[in-house]
Amino acid sequence: MKTAKRIRGLPPYLFAEIDKKIAKAKAAGVDVISLGMGDPDRPTPHHIVESLKSAADDPKTHRYPVYQGTLAFRQAVANWYGKSRGVELDPVSEVVALIGSKEGLAHISQCYVDPGDYNLVPAPGYPVYGIGTTLAGGEVYPMPLLASNRFLPDLDAIPVDVANRAKLMFLNYPNNPTGAVAPREFFADVVAFAREYDIIVCHDAAYSEVAFDGYRPLTFLEIDGAKEVGIEFHSLSKTYNMTGWRLGWAAGHPQVIEALARIKSNIDSGVFTAVQHAGIAALEGPQDCVTTMQRVYAERRDAVVEGLRELGWNIEKPQATIYVWVPVPQGYTATEFASLVLEETGVVITPGVGYGEYGEGYCRISLCVEKERIMMALKRWKDAGIKYC
């Protein structure tokens, strides 16, 4: 059975090699500590689960959903932007519900990219931006995120002929995998750049609420002129521990939202209505669960960073996200270091090259296990003599 060229170009599952090693360690009886996955370990808050239960009891939720999302859910999204960021949105024309934001990030290229067109894609970055581009027949132009520029792309480094042929620019702040955040001036430059070259900005704000020490990440839509040049993807996954529920949205420029909704309505049939009810409960219910989430990750982040500092790493505490982006000691590639750590200490971390060549030299530590396990992981590193040099 010969597969299409399209699928032959897809990378195999990125972490297949590491997964094999994890399975081997587990089979040998090692108590594996996984700091690999970016998947919140705490349960979805109780009131959100209860909302799903009662909504699922109502037969009205059992039929095909409204494709672009129920008006009530889209209204809740518009209210959330208004209340939390002072952004006004028309729920009818400027918001579409997504089956998780990953789905929309994959499909947006289908709306705008013809073969030969470029998309500007952060590197390292969440893989779906580039995969969606390739599946649409487009070319990925990587925008390197380097420590020397605080992990922001250098817009001046993008060649004019590339900018002229580019359709979409993907951005993601707070950033996975680097943990970096973006200042207002950067986003303002992005708006000007997008205007100049007629590029649609697709900002992935999955971590806009996962921030610490009183820091409040900007969303793209609150920047002057942003709604005229782009859209923002958002998700309930990280804010409310709802990765398994598959609920997100895109909001912003009405023409872009319309195009995305049109592609989607031809491919999928929307999010289960009861899940949208639960999404409303999340956005409009008590927000102390968000404060708790922030406190829990901040404590874990502190445990990781302080533990690493004791082992010679000179790193800053990220202000947001569930990741710490850690340079690997000299003499190792990212993959070699991740393998060494797994073999010597039973701790799983993600080699940065999993996020593209510009991730070489780093590993990503995620904060999705309890603080005690994180401390145990770092104690094992210390005992095994793993340190930064």
Ligand X SMILES: *Cc1c(COP(=O)(O)O)cnc(C)c1O
- Angle between helix axes 371-383 and 288-310 (nearest 10 degrees) is 10
- Please count the residues of the chain: 389
**The one among 94, 204, 209, 232 contacting ligand X by CB under 6 A:** 204
The nearest distance, CB 243 to ligand X, in angstroms, is 5
Per-residue binder mask for ligand X (CB under 6 A), 171-190, x = binder: -x---x--------------
| 251 in Cβ contact with 95 (< 8 Å) | yes
Per-residue binder mask for ligand X (CB under 6 A), 86-125, x = binder: --------------xxx-----------------------
Check residue 278 for interaction with ligand X (CB under 6 A): no
Check residue 208 for interaction with ligand X (CB under 6 A): no
Decide whether 130 or 307 has the Cβ nearer to ligand X: 130
Check residue 366 for interaction with ligand X (CB under 6 A): no
- Rounded to 5 degrees, what are φ and ψ at 53? -60, -50
The nearest distance, CB 245 to ligand X, in angstroms, is 8
The nearest distance, CB 104 to ligand X, in angstroms, is 8
Check residue 126 for interaction with ligand X (CB under 6 A): yes
The nearest distance, CB 99 to ligand X, in angstroms, is 8
Check residue 40 for interaction with ligand X (CB under 6 A): no
Q: Which residue has the tokens 């000299």?
A: 330
What amino acid is encoded at 58 in this protein? D
- Total residues contacting ligand X by CB under 6 A comes to 14
* Part of the chain binding ligand X (CB under 6 A), chosen from 52-60, 209-217, 234-242, 259-267: 234-242
* Part of the chain binding ligand X (CB under 6 A), chosen from 107-115, 221-229, 232-240, 264-272: 232-240
Closest CA to 170 of 146, 200, 198, 191: 200
Distance of CA 105 to the CA centre of its chain: 10
Decide whether 243 or 273 has the Cβ nearer to ligand X: 243
SS3 241: coil
What amino acid is encoded at 195 in this protein? R
Check residue 276 for interaction with ligand X (CB under 6 A): no
Check residue 249 for interaction with ligand X (CB under 6 A): no
The nearest distance, CB 247 to ligand X, in angstroms, is 7
Closest CA to 147 of 301, 361, 365, 366: 361
Closest CA to 66 of 334, 226, 259, 261: 261
What amino acid is encoded at 40 in this protein? P
Q: Which residue has the tokens 């999955």?
A: 206
Neighbours of 363 (CB within 10 A): 25
